[in-house]
Amino acid sequence: MPNETLLLQLTQLTETCLLRQKRAAAVLSAFKLTGDALSKTVRALQEYATEETTVAAAQDAFARVKVKEEGIDPLAPELRREVKNLTLLLSALKEASNALRAEPVDVARLDKALVFLLTRKEAAVAALIPSLQSELDLAQRALGDEFGVKLRAALESLGVHLGGRPPKFTIGRFELDANFARRSCVLRYGKDTVAPHLSITVEAVLKAYLAAVKEIENRPVGGAAWLAQLYDAYQTVQRKRASTASRVNVVDVYLEVVMLRQGRTFAGEPSKRTFTEYSRAQFIYDFYRITGQQRLVHQGMQVKVHSATKSQTDSPTKSMWIVEGDSPYDGRYIADIEFEKE
C-alpha cells in the first residue's frame, strides 16, 4: 500500500511550489511588458517631437523614470533563478510521488529524486526527507529480500551458501554489495573489488562469481616458485629504497611481483596488450595460502607480517586486507612484511 500521508504531503508541497512558480513567472512577464512599453513610449516621443510640437517636458519625465534600472534589472535575475529552481524542485517532487505510487515502489526514481531534494534548503522539503528516506529503505529491503531468495536458491544448486543480509551478502570469501536504487552491485574478494559494475540480476552475479573463483582460487600456483618471486620482489624494494630495514611495505612488494611476472614481450613492447594481469585479489589469495596456511620456507626464511595502523588501513597504497578465513570479513590489514629465519 502506498504511503498516503506522505503522498498527500508531497502533493501539497507541489501545489505550493507550483503557485510560487506561477507568481514569479507572472512578475517576469509583467516586467517584460513594462520594459517594452517604456522603450516604445520613449521612442514614440522622439519620433513625434518636431519644431511645432513641444514634448520636452514629457521626455524629461520619462527620462527620470528609473523603473528598469532600479526595479526590473536588479530583481529579474533573481526571479529567473527562482523559476528555474522551482522547475527542478517540482520535477523532483513529481518523480518522488510517481515512484511511491508504483507497485512495487520504483527505488531508482525515488533515489534520484531524494538525492536532489537533499540539496534543497527549504524547511518544507527538509521535513519530508526522513519519511522519503524511510520509504526508500523499506523498498530496497523488500527488493533485497526478493533478490536474496532467488540468488540463494541458484547458489544452493551449486552447493554454495549465501550469507549476510541485503544490501550486503557473502558468498564464501566474496562480498556482494547490492545497490537497488542504482540497479547495480559490486563483487569483492575481501575488500578488493573484482567486479565493479554488475547488473543486479541473478544471472550476472552467478557469472561474475564463478569467473572470480576461477581466476582467484582455482589457479595452479607453484608455492616454492611463488615464494622465491616474492623474495626477489622484496629485495628489489629494499634496493630501490636503499634501505637496510628488514620490513618493507606489502603493496610495494606486490607491485614488484607484478613486474617480475611480465614476459619478454612486455619488456620489448610495454603495452596493455602485452601486459600479464595479476590482480590484488589473486596476490592476496596466493600470499595467505603460501605464507599463512602452508608456511613455506625460502632459503631457510619465512614471511612475517606486520599489521597496519589505522592511518594505513585508510589507503590501499599502504595496506592490504588479507582474507584468512571462510568469510570476506575474517582477516586483517597488513602493512609490512619481512623475511626472517625460522
One-letter amino acid for residue 13 of the chain: L
pLDDT in tens, 72-125: 788 888 889 999 999 999 999 999 999 999 888 899 899 999 999 999 989 999
To the question of pTM greater than 0.85 for the whole model, the response is no
Residues 6+ apart with CB under 8 A from 279: 192, 194, 215, 216
Residue 127: count of CB within 10 angstroms of its CB: 11
One-letter amino acid for residue 295 of the chain: R
The pLDDT assigned to 263 comes to: 87
Highest mean pLDDT among 46-50, 52-56, 59-63, 123-127: 123-127
List the single range of 188-192, 208-212, 264-268, 293-297 with lowest mean pLDDT.
264-268
pLDDT at 285 over 70: yes
Size (the chain), residues: 342
- Computed over every residue of the chain, the mean pLDDT equals 91
The pLDDT assigned to 270 comes to: 87
pLDDT in tens, 129-169: 999 999 999 998 888 899 999 999 999 999 999 999 889 99
pLDDT at 53 over 70: no
Strand order of the β-sheet with 192-199 is 162-165, 168-171, 174-179, 184-189, 192-199
pLDDT in tens, 62-72: 767 777 777 77
The larger pLDDT score, comparing residue 269 to residue 59, is at: 269
pLDDT at 52 over 70: no
Rounded CA-CA distance 80/18 in Å is 15
